[in-house]
Amino acid sequence: MKQESKRRRAKLLEVARLAGVGTATVDRVLNERGNVSVKTARKVLEAARELNINRILPPLHQKMVRIEVLLARPEIPLIARMIDEFRRLSGDLERSAMVQLTVLSDERPELMAQAIEDTQADAVVVYTQEHDSIHNAIASLAEKAVPTVTIISDLPRSARCAYAGIDHFQAGQTAGYFIDSMAREQGAVLVLCNHLGFQAHAARLRGLEQFLEQSARGLHIAEILEGGDDRVLSEAVLRSALVRHPGTVAIYNVGAGNRGVAAAVQGLSAQQPPLFVGHELTQVTRDLLCSGLMALAIDQDPEN
């Protein structure tokens, strides 16, 4: 075993000397680990063939493709699920592709735009909101032939090359259908979102509005609240809105902040709380569904 290992190292050294590179570079080329230029890889393979290396050589060197995934706010359950899935996916990819996961602490568009512009990757996958700085950053990548794919929430007015995610307008219509079917009576509906700069949230709201307008039940959106997908802020703005609209029959949480909704609903003195419809099947929403505080969670199933 030791002699065989020595022979292999000797062969690597011979190839390295003939190709004019280091043994680590030879190892990366012969084992297809990437991060080597096409020109250098060709020199290594030519040297290996000239020395009659006794092994199957790669027929064609492929440049390592690096994909950077940009996400923010890992405390949000859906983002945590996406992080887990991208980590799992990175282990399933061929050696010629690598996923680099970058998770920002907050979702400020200026911060995300800078991360997009600073990328050294060959392609970018990003979840972010509509903003001029974001559009400019994506346009800058497009000029350098670096494609951007949006996930979860689209940026249709940007230079992104594709969107991967659900139809959020249809998701809003689905929410409208179930609210219309399950609400105990006609009356006010409160809508809670992060803010409408996220295309996904704006599209869900449009879907809900259209469905309720066509319904004969007499349900109407009384107010649209921005809770920043934050538990404390969502609870605070919802509590205030419930005071302003005491006859609220349903709450539709477009984004995260489901714990805040539950806390606000639990604080009501009325025996019959409003119907609560939201998104994403997580441990939190499972518990809320089992307790009866939540009626429905529309899940986009990022694992599949």
pLDDT in tens, 39-54: 788 888 888 888 877 6
> How far apart are alpha carbons 127 and 149 in whole angstroms?
9
If you classify domain 65-164 with CATH, what class do you get? alpha beta
What is the residue whose two structure tokens read 């065989």? 4
Lowest mean pLDDT among 210-219, 231-240, 263-272: 263-272
List the chain domain ranges.
2-50, 65-164, 168-298
> How far apart are alpha carbons 19 and 29 in whole angstroms?
12
Indicate whether 2 pLDDT > 50: no
2-50 and 168-298 share one fold: no
CATH architecture of 168-298: 3-Layer(aba) Sandwich (3.40)
The pLDDT of residue 23 is 87
The pLDDT of residue 59 is 55
Q: How does 84-102 read in b/e, with b if 16+ C-beta sit within 10 Å?
A: eebeeeeeeeeeebbbebb
CB-based contact 130:198 (threshold 8 Å): yes
Q: Of 33 and 272, which is predicted with more confidence?
A: 272
How remote is the C-alpha of 14 from its chain's centroid?
Answer: 47
The pLDDT of residue 53 is 76
If you classify domain 2-50 with CATH, what class do you get? mainly alpha
CB neighbour list of residue 229: distance below 8 Å, 6 or more residues apart = 73, 76, 194, 255, 256, 257
3-state DSSP call for residue 106?
coil
- When pLDDT is cut at 50, 70 and 90, the band that residue 11 belongs to is confident
Residues 184-200 pLDDT 10s: 899 999 999 999 999 99
Indicate whether 55 pLDDT > 70: no
The pLDDT of residue 50 is 85
CB-based contact 191:212 (threshold 8 Å): no
> How far apart are alpha carbons 16 and 183 in whole angstroms?
73
Residues 85-141 pLDDT 10s: 998 887 777 666 788 999 998 999 999 999 999 999 999 999 999 999 999 999 999
Percentage of the chain surpassing pLDDT 90?
A: 67
CB neighbour list of residue 31: distance below 8 Å, 6 or more residues apart = 95
Torsion of CA 85, 88, 93, 98, to 10 degrees: 80
> How far apart are alpha carbons 159 and 175 in whole angstroms?
30
pTM for the full predicted model: 0.78
The pLDDT of residue 6 is 53
Tokens of 231: 């538990």
